[in-house]
Amino acid sequence: MENPRDPRWIEGKLVQADIFDQNNVREYLDANEDMSEELIQIKEILGINGDDSQPDILDHRTHRREWKKLILVLKKESIEGHLERTEKLNTFLGILTKQNQPTATTRRAPRRNTRHYKRIRSHAIDLYNILEARFPSSPTCKCALEPHHVNIKLEFRRAQLTEKAVYFHAIFTSETSTFNTPSNWREIETEPWKIIQEDVLCQDTDHVKVRFSIEPLPPRQTSPPDGTEIIDLCAAITGPASKGWLGHISNRQGQQHRIRTLDAQQKLPAFDKIQTVSLAEVLSDPQFREEQRLRLALKLASSVMQLHTTEWLTDFWSKSDVSFMRSSHGVIDFDNPLIGRTFGARGDDLNCVSETLPRPTLHASIPCLFSLGIVLLELKYRRLFEDLKSEVERSMPPEFSDSMAARRLTDEMIGSTNYQDAVVRCILGLDAAYRSLAEERFQNEVEEKIINLIAEDLKVYCAKTSVEACLEMGMGGMGAMGGVVART
């Protein structure tokens, strides 16, 4: 393998069709021959007569002239050709390393528009800022919602469904039944109401300032027709349920969301009283089926695009950040994942907590995508990432062992190549030369090479032609619990 002139490349057992594809072998040998010829020409130019000889001493003018000849190959018109050929060689070398035949590539789905993620993310930032401003700090507030922990649902969202409006669904719980019902929880639907175009600081890996260009929605009144500004948010949430909009909440910057309560208990009668359990606690649960794991993988990948590096989803996140509702009878709603944050109190700093989470090696991947890759591995193996490490990997510093273990587990993965390729992209990075998900081309690559691959696996597993049909199958057993709804 290390010597392209080895005679076994062209004769012997290795040239059999079931071991190496001879067309690829020939391409590899030709490339090595071309590089050898180029090196010979460079040696002649520099006056190098042998492997150990030194180049001839050239005067300054001659040296400058010869150097110009050398850098001609780096001119703009030839760079793309060199990069294309390098990509092909890297692909071939990867195939040789795995000692298997290249499989037929899956036909790529048409590239989808990813601009809707900017709108969703902008509204998610607004919602967080509003809740942070409207929930009173402890110990000022003595309501039943204290300490004001909000769980929002993670959803797979297409551009077509979010074109008209974007809805967020939040779950509020209490230790006592304070919602004028026997239940100890309530679901609230929020919708961006007043939209302000402004510069929003994108808290991504490179701290790039991004201007969100939000498409204007149809003209609306300045306040909901069936409600006014809500002053006491705690009282509105714990008060009587209403079919209409309760009113709108806002902060000092003028960002507004209108809210209403949903009678989710009718859709989930078994969930009269609930607790939340983290993904870390249910990874090995036998009731957590493969189909539900694929749905969760898709929703997590989509949520990274929607919420990456907002206060809802930081750069470094894990299975402990994702939770589910569990009824008093022990039934877990695996089809509606949640992610929560606490308002009105200074809890543990998220950045401090994230210091213990798996991290990529320098320049390996976008941190939030690496975190996604780790969770996808845990979903596949049904075990915690820490328990999947070998003894050697556990003895190494985490900054090295995390990436090493992730690569090993990806190589050892059995099953769909689509899922495996999606995990590889999360762990090792994508092709686009960007370091931030704020870049539209990078978003397109994530959509095409991670989200779409998981979606294809889900459709095959469910024997459906659309992702929406697969998600509806999961909602059928528990009842439809909100999600993204587009209303005209």
pLDDT score for 485 = 29
Task: Determine if residue 107 is left, alpha or beta; phi over 0 gives left, psi from -120 to 50 gives alpha, anything else beta.
Answer: beta
Query: Mean pLDDT across the stretch 135-156?
Result: 78
Output 231 or 144, whichever has higher pLDDT. 231
User: What's the mean pLDDT when you consider all of the chain?
Assistant: 75
CA atoms of 387 and 172, how far apart (whole Å): 33
pLDDT score for 351 = 43
pLDDT score for 381 = 95
Q: What angle do CA 52, 56, 61 make, to 5 degrees?
A: 145
CA atoms of 394 and 370, how far apart (whole Å): 19
Helix boundaries (H) for 136-256: 233-238
Residue found by looking up tokens 């991947």 in the block: 365
- Residue 89 in contact with residue 28, Cβ under 8 Å? yes
Residue 113 has pLDDT above 70, yes or no: no
Q: Lowest-confidence range among 215-224, 261-270, 477-486?
A: 477-486
pLDDT score for 132 = 86
Give the dihedral of Cα atoms 131, 133, 138, 144; nearest 10 deg. -40
CA atoms of 2 and 52, how far apart (whole Å): 21
pLDDT score for 186 = 84
Position 417, amino acid: T
Position 487, amino acid: R
- Residue 436 in contact with residue 208, Cβ under 8 Å? yes
Task: Determine if residue 482 is left, alpha or beta; phi over 0 gives left, psi from -120 to 50 gives alpha, anything else beta.
Answer: left
Output 242 or 290, whichever has higher pLDDT. 290
pLDDT score for 199 = 41
The answer, as to whether pTM is greater than 0.75, is no
pLDDT score for 362 = 47
Output 166 or 241, whichever has higher pLDDT. 166
Residue 416 has pLDDT above 80, yes or no: yes
- For 296-414, strand residue ranges (E) read 322-327, 338-342
CA distances from 294 to 79, 409, 455, 463, 474 (A): 40, 18, 8, 13, 11
- Residue 224 in contact with residue 245, Cβ under 8 Å? yes
